[in-house]
Structure 1
Amino acid sequence: MTHHEPVETTNLDRYDNDVLPWSRALGGLEKELTEDTPVFLGTASPDGRPHSAGIGPAWVDGELYFTSGPGTRKSRDLAANPACTVSIRLRGLDLVLEGEAARVTDTATVERLAGVYSAGGWPAEAAGDALTAPYSAPSAGPPPWHLYRFTARTAVGVATAEPHGATRWRFAH
């Protein structure tokens, strides 16, 4: 997403605060996103039933990745409908990203992300077009785990620290 600058910015603030710059959200994603950052994926089942689950994200070269077992509800939802949200609590900014998640199967990316996750403390390894490790979060299901790349279409940021504000950014795709 670093190569995607907003094509439209809308001030959602009701208290005369200025538009928040996208660079504030992007800086938080680049510098603060760790395994301890609260991040939730929102999906919908084919019958429209909402679902939310915590995910362990990786921010690599301006792209947001996460993993999920193929039998989990979030993976089944994404297979039927890739539209989803990613909600993130950054320092001083709550961020909700709306877009799509697509499974990543190319070996080079899977191997690279296995290395990123491993360097971050989760001992992931590439296993063909998926990841494996001795353990993962209970919500991930059993191994192997699929790798997903999230692409944002819009983002909404609400500042919880000075300077305050609320802004929506729309991206071209």
Structure 2
Amino acid sequence: MQDPTPHLDERFSDPAAQATPWATVRKALETAQLFWITTVRADGRPHVTPLVAVWLDDALHFGTGPEEQKAVNLSHNPQVVLTTGCNDWTQGLDVMVEGEARRVTDRPTLERLAAVWATKWTGQWQYQVADTGFVHNGGEALVLAVKPTKILAFTKGTFTQTRYAP
């Protein structure tokens, strides 16, 4: 994706606030150690759970076991929201990414993703690449990518709401 143009939403921003630069948001996506994913159950109820994700090739990638609730939900509805940030009111940046989760099975991409996961958390997430995704601790992990359809960034302290639409 080309660097998207930030659009400040003045309704939810302090007077004279500036839009958060895309480089700041991208860095937050690249360095975040934890995200929260929201999926929708078949009966319409939301499901939220923490997970680790990596930003690569202009998309957020995450893994899940095929029988985990989020995987079951995604089989009915691929729309997701991934959120990261800080729970401090006076400082920090919260970022929300909306999009559709799509399965990744391309072996070269999976190998690149496994390498990123292995280095991001000082080796805590070691995946072996298989034809259908990852193998982790002897179990299968589906790998999914979310290309953003909308990104919102919320800066705290000086409050801003910035929208990026690829």
- Same-fold call, TM cutoff 0.5: yes
Corresponding position of 1:11: 10
* TM-score, length basis structure 2: 0.83
Question: In the TM superposition, what whole-angstrom CA distance separates every residue of 1:58-108 from its partner, at most 9, and x where no partner exists?
Answer: 122332111001111101111211111001016810111222111111111
Corresponding position of 2:29: 29
Identity of aligned residues (%): 25
Whichever residue aligns with residue 41 of structure 1, its letter is: I
Whichever residue aligns with residue 111 of structure 1, its letter is: E
Corresponding position of 1:126: 129
Once residues 77 and 96 of structure 1 are traced to their aligned partners in structure 2, the CA distance between those partners, rounded to angstroms, is 19
Per-residue deviation, 1:4: 4.8
Moved over 4 A (4+): none
The number of aligned residues is 158
Corresponding position of 1:110: 110
Q: In structure 2, do the counterparts of structure 1 residues 94 and 17 end up closer, same or farther at CA, with 3 Å as the change threshold?
A: farther
Whichever residue aligns with residue 103 of structure 2, its letter is: R
CA contact (8 A) 1:12 1:165 kept: no
Q: In structure 2, do the counterparts of structure 1 residues 25 and 170 end up closer, same or farther at CA, with 3 Å as the change threshold?
A: closer
Q: In structure 2, do the counterparts of structure 1 residues 19 and 82 end up closer, same or farther at CA, with 3 Å as the change threshold?
A: farther
Question: In the TM superposition, what whole-angstrom CA distance separates every residue of 1:87-146 from its partner, at most 9, and x where no partner exists?
Answer: 1016810111222111111111112212222233112110112101227xxxxxxx2001
* TM-score, length basis structure 1: 0.80
| Residue 84 (structure 1) aligned to one of 75, 80, 83 | 80
Q: In structure 2, do the counterparts of structure 1 residues 95 and 158 end up closer, same or farther at CA, with 3 Å as the change threshold?
A: same
| Residue 165 (structure 1) aligned to one of 151, 159, 164 | 159
Runs (5+) with no aligned partner, structure 1: 136-142
Whichever residue aligns with residue 116 of structure 2, its letter is: V
Q: In structure 2, do the counterparts of structure 1 residues 40 and 17 end up closer, same or farther at CA, with 3 Å as the change threshold?
A: farther
Corresponding position of 1:138: none
CA contact (8 A) 2:83 2:97 kept: yes
CA contact (8 A) 2:80 2:101 kept: yes
Once residues 7 and 14 of structure 2 are traced to their aligned partners in structure 1, the CA distance between those partners, rounded to angstroms, is 21
Corresponding position of 1:140: none
Corresponding position of 2:59: 63
Once residues 80 and 18 of structure 1 are traced to their aligned partners in structure 2, the CA distance between those partners, rounded to angstroms, is 40
